[in-house]
Each structure stands twice: as structure tokens, then as C-alpha cells.
A = this chain, B = another copy of it.
Amino acid sequence: MTSNIRYRSRASRADDAEDKEYVGFATLPNQLHRKSVKKGFDFTLMVAGEFGLGKSTLVNSLFLTDLYKERKLLNAEERIKQTVEITKRTVDIEEKGVKLKLTIVDVPGFGDAINNTECWTPVTNYINQQFEQYFRDESGLNRKNIQDNRVHCCLYFISPFGQGLRPVDVEFMKALQDKVNVVPLIAKADCLTPSEIKKLKEQVREEIDKYGIKIYQFPDCDSDEDDEIKQQDKGLKESLPFAVIGGNTVLEVRGQRVRGRLYPWGIVEGKTLSWNLRLPFPALVLL
């Protein structure tokens, strides 16, 4: 997931001076690199799940921005009237000179109504529209500056209290599985003990298998990679669905400023948490 975002060029560029004189196919990788840096990348991420599961907090933690500054929380009356809608927020991020145009597609009101029948239809419609738009743009004459608005990935937030998937979770993931990469996440994992997280993960995995839900499959790493990377890759695949925590307050722990959550019985902090839960990647438990 993060590899798309924290893109770092691994290709070692040839010396610039030499580069200018030499003309041949050996410069093709360099040309590709320059072009991609100039053009930047587009990435569209969809976040979906019940209200209050920390979707916005997680997005803010992931990209260290505040995408939802102007958001107003609705009260119960407004939420009764609210329909499922799609909102889009775009932010330009730059890391080491490489630009990323990040679009976050949000589905406020999803699963929040009393009657949630077909509440995934606006979402599937939206995804289909983007495919259609891209297809039309690609069939057109001016194909140089096509804006790619297709949804690349959908983070689906599962309630930590459900003891498995709820009916609406199954239906949503099934409706989206052929259109977009669905990555299921267990939200607000700090309200579960490590053994409960393990049990819930197993239960969700079992149910995903049982209902034939196609979630995003991480590609296998190259066979010539280091053993350590292979191990990490295996661990990453095994830890699906990821358990996540979003922390938007900055606390001071042992003289250091960390993002976390302060409970009367202890501090939830990214590093210690991933260590305690024996997770392979601290970054997957985001604080």
C-alpha cells in the first residue's frame, strides 16, 4: 500500500554530464525517471465503513495532513436525513521532489441510515463512472493530459466489535470486489486485547474465504530478493486484515513527542504497540 505513496527511486541514475552526450537505449530508464518526476503520480484512495470508525483520522495520520479541516459533524437529526454520497478531496504531496496528487474519496453516511439497503450502489456507480470517463478520455484525440480519477484502492473499515463481518460488510465488499482493490482493515484496534485481535482476524479471514470475497492480494516479491524482504512480504500477507489505530493527539512520552492515545491505564503508542502485537510492520499500526 504505502509503496505507491512513499515512492523512492531505486534506479541509480548515470552521471548527468555523461548522460547529455550519450544517445542510445541505455538512457531509456533515465528518460522514464525524468518523465515520471516531471509528471508526478496520481493516486486515488477510497475510504469506506461505518461512521465513527476513524476513517478521517487514519487518512490524516497516513499522510500527516489535515484533509478534513472544514468537515462539520452532523447530529442525529441531520444523519437521519442524510443519504449516502461521495465526497472527494485532493491534496498535492511532494516527497524528495516527486509529486503525488492524492485524491481521497470518502463515503459519508455509508451504513448510517436505519435502512441501508443498496447503500453501496452510489459507490459502485461512482467507480463505474470513473472507468467510463477514463475510457472516453483514452478513446479521444488529446490523450496527453488524461486525468486518472479511477479509484485505485479502497480501504474498508470493519468494526472491532462485530466478532466477524456484519451483513453490510459482506455485501459492500462483494459489490466492489471486481472493480477496485479492497483492503479490509480492523478499525480502532486499541479497544481489543491482542488475543481478541488474533481471533477477530482469523474470523474475518475465514468469512472472506467462505463468502468468496476477493480482497486485494499483495503481489509476490521477486524470487531474487533478500531473505529478510521475503520474510517481511510473508508477514505482510499473513497479517491481513490489518488492525489499525488512528491517533491525532501528540503526547510526550519519555521526553519524546509521539502521536498516540492517552488512557488512564496506559499510553497507546505506535512503536510499542506493533512490538507487543508482534506485527511485522510498525507502519501498519498508525499513530
Binding site for B on A (CB under 8 A): 50-54, 73, 75-77, 79-80, 112-117, 119, 159-171, 188, 190-191, 193-194, 207, 210-211, 261-269, 272-273, 276-277
Residue on B nearest A262 in the bound complex, by CB = B193
Selected contact of A79 from candidates B80, B114, B166, B276, CB within 8 Å: B166
Residue on B nearest A191 in the bound complex, by CB = B191
> A273 touching B265 by the CB < 8 A rule?
yes
Beyond contacts A51-B163, A51-B166, A79-B166: 6 other A-B pairs, Cβ-Cβ < 8 A, are A50-B161, A76-B164, A77-B211, A113-B167, A114-B117, A114-B171
A50 to B167, CA, bound (A): 13
A276 to B264, CA, bound (A): 6
Residue on B nearest A194 in the bound complex, by CB = B264
Check A53/B161 contact, CB under 8 A, given A79-B167, A169-B76, A193-B261. yes
- Shortest 6 CB-CB distances between A and B: which pairs? A266-B266, A191-B191, A265-B266, A264-B276, A52-B161, A80-B167
Check A164/B75 contact, CB under 8 A, given A264-B273, A264-B277, A272-B265. yes
A194 to B73, CA, bound (A): 20
